[in-house]
A and B are shown apart, each in its own frame.
Chain A
Amino acid sequence: MAQNFSRYFFKRLLYVLITIYFILTFNFFLFRVMPADVEDILIPKGADEATKEALREYYGLDRSYLEQYVDYLGGFLHGELGKSISVRVGAEVTEVLAVYVPNTLLLVGFGTILAVFVGVVLGRETAWRRGKLADRIGSSFFIVFYCMPTFLFALVMLMLVTHYFPSWPARGTFSDDYYDLDLFGKIIDRIQYMLLPMFALVIETIAAFSIVTRSSLIDVLTEDYMVTAVAKGLRGRQVLRAHAMPNAMLPVVTTVAINVGWVLSGSIMIEIIFSYQGLGYLTWDAVWGQDYPVMQAVFMLETVAVLFANFIADMMLFKLDPRVKV
């Protein structure tokens, strides 16, 4: 029996919320069962006993795990994620995230969107022309860039571009005059700083999406209903567009949803090479510095992003794939 969409929607939403709750709980206990004592991390060794006591109270470590857990959940619901203890000492985690999240959304978010569109088009065209020259060239392109280490490509690009365009920015997220610019100037400024890292980032994901689309479409083209579509008089691109692509998109949608994890965690190597302050670098920095409040928040953010993307993918699949309704 076919499912009702709203029923399906709320059911999946409930699953997402339950998962978020479990991950929140896991996050809480994860940092309390690790080898290093959370008290050793949060409370400096040089502090005297009175200060240690004050800090224990400040972080709530003087209370039972259950009380800490309830406080933790309450804080999360109110958007209180604590203060950074090493990455940006004393700053509210929300303040830190407010700086890094937009940078990542701009870089990796747009990079992914670009990669999806270009990757799907390239995958479709190479599958459609499979075995021909265009397919051979395209497939070579996918394989080379899929296998090439991203950091290597990024470094080579950094050196080439800065050599031939000496005034092109090599690092950072925006210029020092950014705050003085009008909206149009800000957009140009952002694009200028974002283009290099974004290009280095998308080249691999384009290849990945192309490979998935190509293989998926080739599979679909072997199905019997393709013969049927031709037999009933449809021709060429009409078959591709109306019959093949919608079905070939199913695994692509799933791959994109999985890939959304990258949208927030970013690409650490790219961000480091171009000194681009995104969430990937923040995660790396927080892990090295054992900044647990920041780590908790970033992990949570990434988890929610992946869950949300999967939720959207489920909704799209419901529309795209009739089998889901059954």
Chain B
Amino acid sequence: MNNLASVWGRARGVAIAAIVLSFLMVLSAVPMRPFSDAAAAGQTTLRIGMMEPIDSLNPQIGINDNAYVFYGLVYDFLISVNDDLGPKANLAESWYRVPDAVPYGSVWQYNLTHGAKWHDGEPFTAADVVFTVSYQTGVNWSTMWAYQPYTLLIDYAEAVDPHTVRIHFMNPDTGLPTVCTFGDSLMIPILPEHIWKKIPVAQGAFSYANPDPVGTGPFMCTERIYDEFLSGNRITLVRNPDYHLGPVKFDRLILEFYLEATAMVIDLQRGAIDLAALTAPSYDNLLDWLESHPSAPIGTYAGLTCTSYSIDIGTCMKYNSDPDYNTLRMDPAVMEAMALATDKEFIRDNIYMGFAEVGYSLMSPIYGGLYWEPNATERYDYSIEEANLILDAAGYTVDSDGIRRCAPDNPYKGFKDRLELKILVEIELPEDVATAKFLKDEWREIGIDLEVDLVDAGTWNNVVYGGNYDLCISYWSGDPDPNYIIYTQTQKALEGWSENWYYSEEYDENYTKSVLELSIASRIQYVKNCEKHTYEDKAWIVTVYPYGCYGWREDHFTGWGDWGLDPGRQLANFWSANQLFFDLEPISTNEPPSVLFDLAAGVNGTAVQVTAWAWDPEGEAMTYYLDYGDGTNLTGDIPEDGELSLSHTYTRATTFMMNLTVSDPTTGVSTESYAVIVEDGTNVPPSNIRIRPSDMSKLWADEEMDYLVTAKDVDGDPLSVDVCWDDGSDNYSVGLSSTSSIQTSEVAHTYGMGEFAINVTVDDGTYEVTLWFVLSVSDEKPAGTNWLIIVVAGGAVAAAAVVGLMLWKRRGAKEEEDVRLP
């Protein structure tokens, strides 16, 4: 047994050694590459909290919303989007349809900026634009999938000169030149030719990690970007000081990724992040918190997103889908009944907690004049009764279990004749899951048995893009020009873009006309026709347009603007050079010093004591400039305790106006006081009167604080001091002994929150002097530093170590205890 005991003892020793050793080993494995840029300290940083890390650094691959935001910060487009979602000059300073091109509108010319450079210092030229277009068009078009709605119509690009580019458009069906309406809205990030020409197209489209993104955008990646991307913790970007549209007004932008929204709300509340892209429930929580903290400097916005985000129930319109699936889903009567039995208002109010609007087509009201909404006769208002009538009329009977069966001659009948449908839902989207479960109950009332199939995103993609399903819940976002979003329902989009496999000749005709039509009025009509088709054909039942929900710190930055009136300022505007970032200006958190400059008094020709007290909230070193008011002045450093005491001799008997300026390294504050100089033999009034908290750093509401009351009488007269606190409490009165030096009295007092004008009256028997001091008391205790918790944690560790050591040393001392055997 002794042997076993020693094994156990040795094992314990080895284990402790192993802890230390493995800690060092693991630390040696974590990234420790020093960052060569300027130290982060003192830099102004905009921190943006987001759910979900970006999925790729490659703008040809990434698909999540945050990845697009990242691309819009690092890369530029030819033309960006202004606050109203209209075109704004970026890499292209101006653009127009080339007048002599046939047909007119088939060639667009872009006059490029001369001021842009790639982040690695290489000059940006027309060759880069030509390369970007060539990389994604022609034989590469089908592989380079990311921007196909734009590249579909592009024939080729040519460089007229190093700063002029022309893009030629063609009809993809005929190969002939054709007009293009969206030449001023080509939302394609421009890539550096000198880097991307080495990347084969297939890799560029599907597997190239782009570990060191180089763009021309307002923000540049650091040398640790790839490590940061891999870790999914945060992405740090630094200001591009040479940005061709002018640099932003802060040094760094950090995207902070959260996996859980609660922590993000907490960080916004306590100011650890400046802007948060929130989920609806977390936004609701934030609003609740703001109700109980109305003075919190947090701005909020919840409204339609500039990307026209919509939630859509899709019916798979692929006729040759797997026979396991129910072809009755494509029966127009069934599709109409499902549309009628979908209570969109319930979904908006309950599942989206009111942070959404009822939807109709893939284009939300954010499109303004292009938005189409059904009128009273066109609209399918929620009605279970009407849905049942339609199914009855279409020959669907109800079985004993309440599920409907189609008529034997129903042309949509495949292998199944009962309305048993499966709806495919991504399990990680809680609102979609709730919607599907709600529909399961609702549609049961019209005789549809809906099986909710919860799958992961990968499976969802495979099944949906393979066309083997009944119904699904999906979402769409679009670009400012409607071309992008309406393209998704065209025949060209069937392989890879379309989830519902919808195809309609009429829809395609309207789409084609919409992109080829130069007349704005006609184009609007074609776009609206597409929206109407989407609504009426019901391959998409668009349930809601969810709001984008954001919160931001108004005490950290100014210039947020109104995201409802100016949707182009939303964080979701990823179309490069978002004006928001150029308007944001950091608010200096440095507070100026507080200064009490005391009244001085004395006799002509003798030294007068001039006193002041200064305190800097940040504890920074302070300097002063003192103008005695008689033509002389003095500069110097404020002592560490803040007490400034100087001696000065005036040569005239009068009252001088003194001026004192106290500065910390960032700001300064000036204050004035009097020096009352009398002739010898005349009574000198009380002077150097002051009241101040003993410790400004601990001054907060409802906490007792000691106040120091000081005064002096040069003649040595006894002083009676009366302090009126200005909060309704009793005055404090004290007598100061007869002496010619400064006397101090200490008194405790507790203030509530607010601003108080403290009145101090000092009487020497001849003169009564009254001075006012204004004191502001805040409602919350100042934030502690990390050191506090480090000390606490250190103390706990030390205590544990001490206890452990004592136990170790006393391990033989308890031998006397009885063994409690059974």
Interface residues of A (CB under 8 A from B): 36, 40-41, 44-48, 50-51, 54-55, 58, 83, 85-91, 95-96, 98-103, 105-106, 109-110, 113, 117, 130, 155, 158-159, 162, 165-174, 176-177, 179-180, 183, 186-188, 190-192, 195, 221-222, 226-227, 229-230, 235-243, 245-246, 249, 271-275, 277, 281, 287-291, 316, 319-320
Contact = CB atoms under 8 A, between A and B. Distances in A.
B207 A277 contact: no
Given A222-B822, A275-B257, A287-B456, A99 B15 contact: no
Contact of B258 (A87, A227, A275): A275
A266 B32 CA distance: 23
Contact of B142 (A47, A227, A273): A47
22 contacts: A46-B495, A89-B61, A90-B61, A102-B26, A103-B30, A105-B26, A171-B267, A172-B256, A186-B30, A221-B822, A230-B819, A235-B815, A237-B811, A241-B5, A242-B5, A249-B8, A272-B259, A275-B257, A288-B458, A290-B457, A290-B462, A320-B4
A180 B62 contact: no
Interface stretch (B361-369, B650-658, B747-755, B787-795): B787-795
Contact of B40 (A89, A99, A180, A249): A180
A179 B31 contact: yes
Contact of A179 (B7, B22, B33, B497): B33
A155 B262 CA distance: 8
A230 B820 CA distance: 10
A188 B790 contact: yes
B458 A86 contact: yes
Given A106-B27, A229-B819, 5 more contacts: A45-B496, A47-B206, A113-B15, A236-B819, A238-B812
B325 interface: no
Contacts of A158: 262-263, 266
Contacts of A277: 231-233
A101 B35 CA distance: 22
Of the listed residues A172, A235, A289, the one surrounded by the most CB atoms of chain B closer than 10 A to its CB is A172
B210 interface: yes
A28 to B, nearest CB: 19
Contacts of B817: 235-237
A174 B822 CA distance: 52
A186 B26 contact: no
A271 B259 contact: yes
A226 B495 CA distance: 76
A238 B11 CA distance: 18
A170 B457 CA distance: 28
A41 B466 CA distance: 11
Given A36-B462, A246-B4, A192 B27 contact: no
Contact of A242 (B2, B11, B272, B790): B2
Contacts of B619: none
B270 A273 contact: no
Interface in B630-645: none
Interface string B449-471: 00000001111001001100000
A307 B821 CA distance: 38
Contacts of B198: none
Nearest to B209: A90
Contacts of A229: 819
B143 A179 contact: no
Given A109-B26, A236-B816, A172 B4 contact: no
Contacts of B260: 272-275
Interface residues of B, number: 94
A271 B257 CA distance: 13
Nearest 3 pairs of A and B residues by beta carbon: A290-B458, A46-B496, A90-B209
B809 interface: no
A51 B206 contact: yes
B793 A195 contact: yes
B61 A162 contact: no
B142 A89 contact: no
Given A40-B466, A90-B208, A242-B2, A290 B459 contact: yes
A288 B30 CA distance: 26
B430 to A, nearest CB: 14
A107 B737 CA distance: 65
Contacts of A230: 819, 821
A17 B811 CA distance: 42
A88 B33 CA distance: 21
Contacts of B821: 221-222, 226-227, 230
A41 B234 contact: no
Given A106-B26, A113-B15, A170-B267, A245 B8 contact: yes
A165 B259 contact: no
A174 to B, nearest CB: 7
A275 B263 contact: yes
Given A242-B2, A273-B260, A236 B793 contact: no
Interface stretch (B88-96, B313-321, B327-335, B778-786): B778-786
Contacts of B34: 179-180
A90 B236 contact: no
B308 interface: no
B671 to A, nearest CB: 32
B1 interface: yes
Contacts of A240: 819
Contact of B55 (A86, A117, A221, A226): A86
B224 to A, nearest CB: 6
A245 B7 CA distance: 12
B230 A91 contact: yes
A165 B231 contact: no
B194 interface: no
Nearest to B10: A319
A167 B233 contact: no
A109 to B, nearest CB: 7
A6 to B, nearest CB: 18
Contact of B457 (A130, A172, A179, A289): A289
A93 to B, nearest CB: 11
A299 to B, nearest CB: 16
A98 B19 CA distance: 20
Contacts of A281: 259
Contact of A95 (B8, B56, B230, B236): B230
Contact of B819 (A235, A245, A272): A235
A237 B820 CA distance: 11
Given A45-B495, A88-B230, A99-B230, A192 B790 contact: yes
A209 to B, nearest CB: 14
B639 to A, nearest CB: 30
A236 B143 contact: no
B520 interface: no
A245 B201 CA distance: 65
A302 B45 CA distance: 39
B255 to A, nearest CB: 11
A275 B15 CA distance: 30
Contacts of A46: 142-143, 145, 148, 495-497
A113 B19 contact: yes
Interface in B258-292: 258-260, 262-264, 266-267, 270, 272
Contacts of B142: 46-48, 51
Interface string B798-820: 00000000000001101111111
A98 B224 CA distance: 15
A87 B62 CA distance: 10
Given A179-B31, A227-B821, A110 B207 contact: no
Contacts of A168: 786, 789
A170 B272 contact: yes
Contact of A236 (B8, B19, B29, B815): B815
B58 A90 contact: yes
Contacts of B819: 226, 229-230, 235-236, 239-240
A209 B25 CA distance: 26
Contacts of A45: 465-466, 495-496
A40 B458 CA distance: 10
Interface string B8-22: 100100010001001
Contacts of B208: 90
